[in-house]
Structures are given as structure tokens and as C-alpha cells.
Structure 1
């Protein structure tokens, strides 16, 4: 019997390794081809994006899940790891942005009605599909059926939100407030440390240990985010790329985007004319999907088939996917572009985003069961 089991398992393992080798090789060829066709910079950005996907999926590091764990069970490890990664990025990003590096920009935005409201709705929607911006990409890359369904509507929502963005931001916003220099770094690190200490104190003693996996993930994520900043000249982001995909599709279908004040802007018109393979956020997003796919393939963990959920759960998934995209554009970013990159480069709006989205997560968690997403 043992010999027959081994005989069955060995070909399956061999096929899995062959698949991993094939797609890893294809990824490397894609990186090298992109370097040759568009420039070394773009190939490196794709490689960094794949690194994000490998880290997020390989080490089970995310944003929505740890927030859910903190809210439901007072387990702070994932949230503390997020705050630690942000602090590590800030340690380098603050002096770089303050120095003589005009090619580098921060993820800076103003706090406004649309931003706060969008962050709240995003926080609720991400708990419905159990994935933020990067999480939806990772889960879709690993074959998660809910995220595979949600992602196209995320793209549509991101495009629609950008189309209407300037109307929403016209409702009112505070002046741009950015923490800068040594004093700004001290304030940011102190705030991150205070929140980490508070959630650790809230947790029961049995839940206060930070797994080594999360420590490694935080270190890798911070390293990749800094590499992205240096190579691309801008902080790690997700949502702009998805909105651009939707805009390109709309243009291909004959839509006139000059009717949108946002897409009529010369910078965005230029993006529409260029290849997605020269858009840094798009390359990062594609890399995340590919990296997650490679990990899932390695684990033989690619999902197949739809879970048994009621019809209202699938309708909710579609609507939540759309709201993830639309709300994240109003909020001027998701957990990555606003929370992670905003705070780590000194923008006050990152803190406002965090508070609003965390509050929205409470609502999203409460709605899961009535909407058929939990038994």
C-alpha cells in the first residue's frame, strides 16, 4: 500500500515542481524582456512587485485579516507587524525625502470629506471580501474564488471613482499637512510605537507573542517598499494601477474620457497613451498577482471551484468589489497607498485613513453573517 501511495504522490509532486520551475523561468524571462524593451527600471519594478506577492502570500502577511483578528479576538500580532514595517520604512524614507533627492516623492494628500468617507467604506468592504487592495490581488493570484470575482469589479470601481474624483474632493479638504525632518520622524515613530503598545496591552497574555513569520514578513515588506521608492521614485501603491486598467478598457470600448476632469489631465492622458508595462503601479500590481500565483503553485494550494455560498453572498462580493475600487479612489489610496505609504512618508492623511478604515472594518465584520458570507 505504501509503495502505491508513493507512486501516486511522486508524479504529482514532480508535476508541481515542473510547474513552479516553468512559471519561475517565465517570470525571469519577462523581467529580462521588460528590461530590454522598456529599460532596467521597469524590469526591476516588476521584480519588486513579484517580491511583494511572494512575501504577502508566502508568509501569510496581510492587512484585512490582522485587523479582523484584533477586532474579534484581540490578537495584535499582525497589526503590530504592519506598524513595525511602516516604522522601518519611515526610518529611511524621512531622511531621503528631506535630502537632495528631487526624484523621490512621498504619498502625501489632504484630509477631506471624501477621503475620510471613502476610507470608512473601504474598511467595511475589505472585511466583506477579506482582502484590501494588495490582499485582493494576492488572493486572486492564488485562485481564491471570492477575490477572483471581486477583482474585475474592483477595477471598474477604481476607474469610476477616479472619473468622479475631482467632484468629490471639491466637497472640501484641509490644507496638506506633512510631518517632515527629524521632528516629523520622531512624531511618527512615537505614534506608531504608542499604538503598538496599546493594542499589545489590550491583548490577553496568551496572544501577545509575535510569530517569527510576521517579523520576517515585516522586514521583507519594508525592504521591498524602500526598493520600490528608490527605483520608481514614488512610494508603494496599488489603486492607481487598477483604475488605469479600467480606463484603458473604457477607452478601448470607445469611451471619451476627456469628459472627466481627472482623466482629461495631461499626466493621466499620457498614461492612457502609454503601455501598462511602463506604468510603475501597474507593474507592481501584476507582480503581486504573479508572486502569489507562484507561492500557491508551490504549495499545491491553487483554489478551484466556487464555494457554496448563497446568491446574496455573491451579489455582496460584486458590490463590495466595486466599492473597494470606488472608495479607495475617494480615499486617495488603500491600506498600501494611504495607510502604509502615507504614514511612512509623513502624510497626516495616512493616520486619518487608518482611523476611518478601522472604524469601517467593525461594520464590515458585523455585516458578513447577515449577507451570507459566514455560516
Structure 2
């Protein structure tokens, strides 16, 4: 479908949401469209940025992500401080978080996408990511079924910097930590380039900087409209849970995760009432609009590569639930709203990425 008729379809759907569901859900769908258009249009990939740093000693993608985190924190933390009805993306430090983050970082490199990456690349029509998306949803649902077991292995209460120190000090701590990471990354790539006898690559690249600014604004709009930070993987798990319940494949009434009041209520509502689901649908639509009329540029895979990628996609979904989010829900939303679990997630996921890249190279992706 060409862009103009597709834009008309998206506009009609937005109007239907406004008329039949709610103004909030219509607004969140529009935010999702923007997120999908920016992610796809700027090719702002969290997975890609980490891979560029490790394999090519190119820090421009990571620098864009650090700018995104800084801007999102600068916008979100004052709002959290002044409007207590807004919630932070808090997750408990736990065995579940440690295992989930490491496995997620490993699998996202094999599957060539995190939660948002899988969504926007599926919207672009890339066959591997389109095939992984339902397995990601299934994995996220399976992770939710087992989450109570994983948390019983050890956990502590969530810690939020805004609640502990106030938004001003929380923001200063966050910006100082991000600046320290930026300095360390810059030092690493300069040293690695010098050792290889190469000129260091630019740290600042326009597409990453533009993407960071736009995503920070859209993530803040999501926080204000939804009352909670931008997330991705909850929507995936909810879709699979509703299918499992409707088909009689699972009884979720006594499951630890799905018996929680909020989760139980969402199981009985239309999926269009879920704030995460509606932005996910918007991301797909925004990426589809970017790709309209253009064939997906994807390298064909052999049978072994397909099998490895699909297994990684299932594990990606499972681990994302254990880790309380992906690069969006745990890293971006966690760190930008002051959650300590986001800072724990990053080094574990990065360590997993190093191993994931080795597996990726072994299978010739």
C-alpha cells in the first residue's frame, strides 16, 4: 500500500479509537505512530548501536542512546516529582532480573532486535523479525507464567531515585552517571582505534542525535498521556495470554502474575484499552508507513539460521518478562524515571550481547 492511502487508513482508525474507545487511547496510538516512524525512519536500533560499539568500535549509536536517556530523564523526572499520579518504571532487583537481562542481551543480537526493534522491523516487512514477533509474544507469556517462581529465588524491593532523593538530586545523579559512561565509551573507542592504527569514528552522527531527541519527546508524551512510562513487552505477553485464555489453553485465574488485580482486569478488557498494546500497534503502523511501497531489504537465511533465530526470539520474549522489560521498558524507561533496576539491567544485558555476537558470527548472520 502506498503512503497516502495508508495514512488515510491510519487516520480513520485513529478517529474510530477516539469515537469508540477513548481520547487517551487515540492519543497513545498517535504517539505510537510517531515512535514507529522515528525508529524505522532513523533506523534507531538499540541492538545495532551496541553491536556497532563492540564490532566496529563505532560509538555513535551508543552516544545517541545516552543522549536519549539524558533527555528523557530531564523531561520525566520533574514530571514525576510534581505529579504523583504518574508512575516510574520500577522493577525489583532480583535473581530474575540478573538472569533475564543477560539472556535478553544475548538473544537480541541473534534475533537482530530488542522489543521495539522487533516491532519496527516487522513493520518494515523484514521476514525474520515478522516471524519472531509471535514467538516473542509467546515467550513473554511463558515468562509471566513462571515469574513468581523466579522471584522466589531472591528479590528486594524496587528502588526509585526520585522517591529516595527528590527529582532534582535524582536527575543530577542520573546525568552524572550517563556523562561518566559517555566519557568511558569515548576513551574506549579512541584507545581501540589507536591500537588498530585507525582514525576514530565520529562520536556524534546526525541520525542518532535526531532520533534521540524525537524519541525522548515521544516517550515523555507517552508518560503524560498514559500515566506510566513507555513499555513494549507487556503488550506482547498480554496478547498471548488473551489467546491462551480464550482458547482454554491456560487457566490464569490462580497464576501469580495474571491474578494481580491490574493484570487480571486487562485480561477481561479489549486489548485496545491496554496502553502498552495500543502504542505497540502504533509502532507497527508507523514503521509500515515508512516502508510503504518499498521492498524490505533483508538478506535471505538458510534453514539453520532460521531455526536459531526463531529459538532466540522465543527466549527473547521469556527473558524480557524476567528482566522487567527490554531496552525500552528496563533501560530507557527504567533509567529515565530513576529505577535502580535499569542500571542493573544494562551491564548484564551488555555482557549477554558480547556472547550473543559470538553466536551470531558462528551461524553467519
Q: Do the structures match in fold with TM over 0.5?
A: yes
1:228 aligns with 2:222: yes
Offset, 1:303: 5.3
Matched, 1:348 2:330: no
Pick closer, same or farther for the CA change 1:220–1:308 going to 2, 3 Å: closer
Number of residue pairs aligned between Structure 1 and Structure 2: 352
Tell me which residue corresponds to 1:39: 22
Deviations 1:75-118 (A, max 9, x none): 1111111111111111121121112x232000011211110110
Taking only aligned residues, the RMSD between alpha carbons, in angstroms, comes to 1.4
Confirm whether residue 238 of structure 1 aligns to residue 232 of structure 2.
Answer: yes
What's the CA shift for 1:312?
Answer: 1.9
CA–CA distance in structure 1, aligned partners of residues 222 and 104 of structure 2: 24
Is the 8 Å Cα contact of residues 145 and 303 (structure 1) preserved in structure 2?
no
Q: Does 1:27 align with 2:10?
A: yes
Q: Is contact 1:82-1:218 (8 Å) kept?
A: yes
User: Equivalent residue for 2:63?
Assistant: 80
**TM-score under structure 1 length normalisation:** 0.91
Equivalent residues in 2 for 1:171-210 (5 A)?
Answer: 171-180=153-162, 181=166, 182-203=168-189, 204=193, 205-210=199-204
Match of residue 109, structure 2, among 103, 112, 127: 127
Q: Secondary structure at the match of 1:207?
A: coil
Return the index of the structure with the highest Cα Rg.
1
Residue 290 of structure 1: how far off its partner (Å): 0.9
TM-score when scaled to structure 2? Answer: 0.94
For residue 152 of structure 1, report the CA deviation from its aligned partner: 0.9
The correspondence for 1:312, drawn from 299, 304, 312, is 304
Structure 1: stretches of 5+ with no match in the other structure = 1-15
Shifted more, 208-217 versus 151-160: the winner is 208-217
Deviates more, 1:36-45 or 1:195-204: 195-204
Contact persistence 1:136–1:147 (CA under 8 A)? yes
Q: What residue number does 1:281 align with?
A: 276
Does structure 2 retain, via aligned residues, the 8 Å contact 1:46–1:284?
yes
Q: What pairs with 1:92-131 in structure 2 (closer than 5 Å)?
A: 92-99=75-82, 101-131=83-113
Looking at structure 1, the residues matched to 237 and 157 of structure 2 have their Cα atoms a distance apart, in angstroms, of 26
Tell me if structure 2 keeps the 8 A contact 1:200–1:208.
Answer: no
SS at match of 2:200: helix
